[in-house]
A and B are shown apart, each in its own frame.
Chain A
Amino acid sequence: MSMGNSKLYKGSLNTIILKLLDERGKMYGYEITQKVKELTKGELNITEGALYPALHKLEAEGLLDVEIAKVDNRLRKYYKLTEAGEKETVNRLQELEEFIRSMQNLVNPNWSIS
């Protein structure tokens, strides 16, 4: 894994989290770390130390809501999208798609002689 690669992913960590929660409803911290690693095929070496701050920031911004459930002999904190979070997810995914499209044009320009 190159350093540059990891930087590209890092910028989109929030978007990845929002998208995951959008698909799966509610998730807890450990589940999210595992899923993010799986999705990015280990390319994005997000440390656990980066994931929780990202979650807490999204929560403070009002994009995520939390729920507590007793699982086995311990408490588990679940995250889910708020209404504002759902809207923001749509926006960020659109932005990301546009970004990907312009990057594709940059990397692989469509030469045409008119």
Chain B
Amino acid sequence: MPRLSDSEIQELYAFTRKHNVVYFDLQTELVDHLANSIEEQMFLDSQISFNEALNKEYKKFGVFGFLDVVEKKRKAMSLRYWKVVLGFMKTYFKPPKILLVFSFIFALTMIFKAINIEHRYNVYFSLLLIISFGVLTFRFISDKKYNKETLNNSKQWLLKEQIYSFCNYVHIINLIPIMLNLTFVSDLIAAKLMFEELFFAILITTLMMLSYIIIFVVPQKAEKLLEETYPEYKLITKN
């Protein structure tokens, strides 16, 4: 079986980059795939050139090429990311932390109850906005840090990018004030149909815990998570 040279392997890396695969782990997997196919084609047909064989194999990925693979990889990685976040979240629902969480919810409920019903909606809304702005500010800082780091290091890792950009949390949190601005929600509150103080106390506490985990806890554990996710991470970053 013919074997591709080092420079041909580098050419394949360049090929994946040219076709919108920016993440190193995905590049590596696709390079190995392409290389295997090219070697096999060259073995079966000694006349075929490297580029011909490469294009033939690339066509098998369909009209969208690698785009679909990258997009679905992103989805799969988000799932992993949220599993990690939920894992940390669970630790808040075990003693002794759970006592703290419940007392906080109770205290918030009491404070909301003490506020005049006419102003309550504004209070909820302002608190949610403050959380939203807080997350956005930290995202801005975190993005800057990530960009600076990746500038020095040419290899990009999808999970690292998701950790530092808080995955899709920013989109989720920005939707909440918009959803609450819908008139039917404010009508519900005004009509006193729900146990609304408790509902908002739980919502705000949950968002605060989630934000804390996503902004501080997960990035702190980034290196460990990356090593667990990518067996090649240590290999590459140590060299």
Q: A49-B65, A77-B25 are in contact. List 4 more A-B contacts (CB 8 A).
A: A47-B62, A52-B69, A68-B230, A75-B32
For chain B, which range describes its interface: under 10, 10 to 19, 20 to 34, or 35 or more residues? 35 or more
Query: Which chain B residues border A52 with CB–CB below 8 Å?
Result: 29-30, 69, 72-73
Distance from A13 Cβ to chain B, minimum over Cβ atoms (Å): 13
| The one of B29, B31, B57, B76 that contacts A60, using a Cβ cutoff of 8 Å | B76
Query: Which chain B residues border A28 with CB–CB below 8 Å?
Result: 32
Inter-chain contact A60/B61, CB cutoff 8 Å:
no
Query: Which chain A residues border B232 with CB–CB below 8 Å?
Result: 68, 75, 77
In angstroms, Cα B36 to Cα A71, docked, is: 11
Distance from B87 Cβ to chain A, minimum over Cβ atoms (Å): 12
B145 adjacent to chain A (CB < 8 Å) = no
Interface string of B73-92 (1 = CB under 8 A from A): 10111011001000000000
In angstroms, Cα B25 to Cα A29, docked, is: 13
Known: A30-B36, A47-B60, A73-B9. A60 touches B28 (CB 8 A): no
A24 adjacent to chain B (CB < 8 Å) = no
A57 adjacent to chain B (CB < 8 Å) = yes
B33 adjacent to chain A (CB < 8 Å) = yes
Query: Chain B binding site: helix, strand, loop or mixed by DSSP?
Result: helix
In angstroms, Cα B107 to Cα A44, docked, is: 60
Known: A66-B231, A74-B9. A48 touches B60 (CB 8 A): yes
For chain A, which range describes its interface: under 10, 10 to 19, 20 to 34, or 35 or more residues? 20 to 34
Interface string of A4-37 (1 = CB under 8 A from B): 0000000000000000000000001111010000
Distance from A90 Cβ to chain B, minimum over Cβ atoms (Å): 23
Known: A57-B76, A77-B28. A49 touches B61 (CB 8 A): yes
Inter-chain contact A60/B37, CB cutoff 8 Å:
no
B64 adjacent to chain A (CB < 8 Å) = yes
A101 adjacent to chain B (CB < 8 Å) = no
| Complex: chain B residue closest to A78, CB-CB | B231
Distance from A77 Cβ to chain B, minimum over Cβ atoms (Å): 5
In angstroms, Cα B28 to Cα A48, docked, is: 15
Distance from A111 Cβ to chain B, minimum over Cβ atoms (Å): 46
| The one of A47, A68, A76 that contacts B61, using a Cβ cutoff of 8 Å | A47
Query: Which chain B residues border A30 with CB–CB below 8 Å?
Result: 32-33, 36-37
Inter-chain contact B32/A77, CB cutoff 8 Å:
yes
Query: Which chain B residues border A62 with CB–CB below 8 Å?
Result: 83
Interface string of A53-76 (1 = CB under 8 A from B): 100110111100011100111111
Known: A48-B61, A60-B80, A75-B28. A53 touches B72 (CB 8 A): yes
In angstroms, Cα B72 to Cα A56, docked, is: 8
| The one of A29, A57, A66, A68 that contacts B33, using a Cβ cutoff of 8 Å | A29
Mark out the residues of chain B between 16 and 46 whose CB falls within 8 Å of any chain A CB in the assembled complex: 25, 28-33, 35-37
In angstroms, Cα B227 to Cα A66, docked, is: 12
Inter-chain contact B79/A61, CB cutoff 8 Å:
yes
